[in-house]
Amino acid sequence: MTSRPLPAQLPRTDLTRHRRLREQGSLERADLDAILDAGFVCHLGVVVEGRPLVVPTVYGRDERHLYLHGSVASRSLAGGTPVCVTVTHVDGLVLARSVFEHGVNYRSAVIHGEARKVTDPDEKLEGLRRLTEHATPGQWSYARRPSRKELAATTLLALSLEEASVKIRTGAPDDGDGPDAELGLWAGTLPLTAVWGAPVADPLLPADVPVPGHIARREGTRHG
Amino acid sequence: MTSRPLPAQLPRTDLTRHRRLREQGSLERADLDAILDAGFVCHLGVVVEGRPLVVPTVYGRDERHLYLHGSVASRSLAGGTPVCVTVTHVDGLVLARSVFEHGVNYRSAVIHGEARKVTDPDEKLEGLRRLTEHATPGQWSYARRPSRKELAATTLLALSLEEASVKIRTGAPDDGDGPDAELGLWAGTLPLTAVWGAPVADPLLPADVPVPGHIARREGTRHG
């Protein structure tokens, strides 16, 4: 691992080149970072005996790597297995005048690489810390950290953030200045927002245990 | 296509057998249906030159098939290409006493099969109708339907719903009755809910075009 930062522009490769809807493609690393930071669940794709398998899993990150909870796919992940990790935020429906122009406002990052099983205990602990803090900032300091045995029972994958591509669609439908505008139909977007609710205590929890501030203060905030 | 309904139990195959977290697995077709009906964006996995590619796309369905908007992946989808389609709803964070027991409450469906490009114009129109109505009920009757040219320019994929598996996790953390319960830490879940917002009119829309009821009435309703 080097400390040199990754370039601000994502590389244009056979895997990241945008073949379609080019206007939605971004090769800005800042866009990639923002999409990754806004979520905590990704879809991990692997090839198993020639067939694709796509499973949801949680992730965290540092500047150069994504860390994935990998048990689901671990049977398929011998060293150097190619994976594809996709993180998508759905921001709303694009309701055009014509069905043909309908679509979705979204932000999506697709990362290509070879997943590496993290075996060094220190790196694994640090990866798990990042994964835990990514989903719930403040929780690593609050909860009981993994024992040596638990650490050994956890499969953590690392994936370089070097080769990735981003697609973003925002805003109104595209048929507002075409012939369909004459139809007199309503057109616009219907936003979709994910919001954190009120913490629900474990029924087995004694009534006098307070909700810690780092959890309580998320209520009502937006996710994604 | 036959009119015989698919069996209520999903088949246990090499691809759908739950290898991990068996308590979360379901082979009830009703669970699959509910998960598919609750969303409109899936992650489509294909194998391209031996590597996985996972892209988000919209879907609709009938009793036996998923219909997918397929342009993104269409270059990889020659007849009979194996695909994996995953639909995931994230319902919240599971915040246990120990980091090891942390997790996510979610509902996820994984469908395996061979995607077929829909070429028959009638089937394509019907598939697009289902896809449109799945995302926005009422919109097919409201918007301008595809012209013959638009229909030809649309790639629609069909995927049988025969081979699928479901995972569901709900409820409290699992360490409420173990030794970690003595730690005095708060534990529970933090729910995450996606909600439709107020319709946003296209800036190019004349001010006197009303929001149709089928769109207006979604505001404030839950998605997922």
Could you report the predicted ipTM of this complex, rounded to two decimals? 0.92
Nearest-Cα distance to chain A for B13, in Å, is 14
- pLDDT tens-digit readout, A45-81: 999 989 999 999 999 999 999 999 876 556 666 667 8
pLDDT at B8 over 60: yes
Structure tokens at A153: 């029972």
CA–CA gap between residue B199 and residue B205 (Å, rounded): 13
pLDDT band at B71; cut points 50, 70, 90: low
Q: Calculate mean pLDDT across residues A163-184.
A: 93
pLDDT at A5 over 70: yes
- pLDDT tens-digit readout, A77-96: 666 789 999 999 999 999 99
A200 touches chain B (CB under 8 A): yes
Q: Calculate mean pLDDT across residues B21-40.
A: 86
- pLDDT tens-digit readout, A19-33: 444 358 888 999 999
Structure tokens at A34: 């923002």
Q: Where does chain A have alpha helices with state H?
A: 29-37, 71-74, 121-135, 139-142, 148-152, 213-216
B216 touches chain A (CB under 8 A): no
CA atoms within 13 A on the CB side of B112: 21
Which residue does chain A place closest to B177, by CA atoms? A204
Catalogue all structural domains in chain B, each as residue range(s) with its CATH number: 1-176 (2.30.110.10), 193-224 (no CATH)
The confidence score (pLDDT) of residue B73 equals 59
Q: Give the best residue of A202, A215, A218 to mutate against chain B (max B CB count within 10 A).
A: A202
Q: Calculate mean pLDDT across residues B28-55.
A: 95
In chain B, % of residues over pLDDT 90: 79
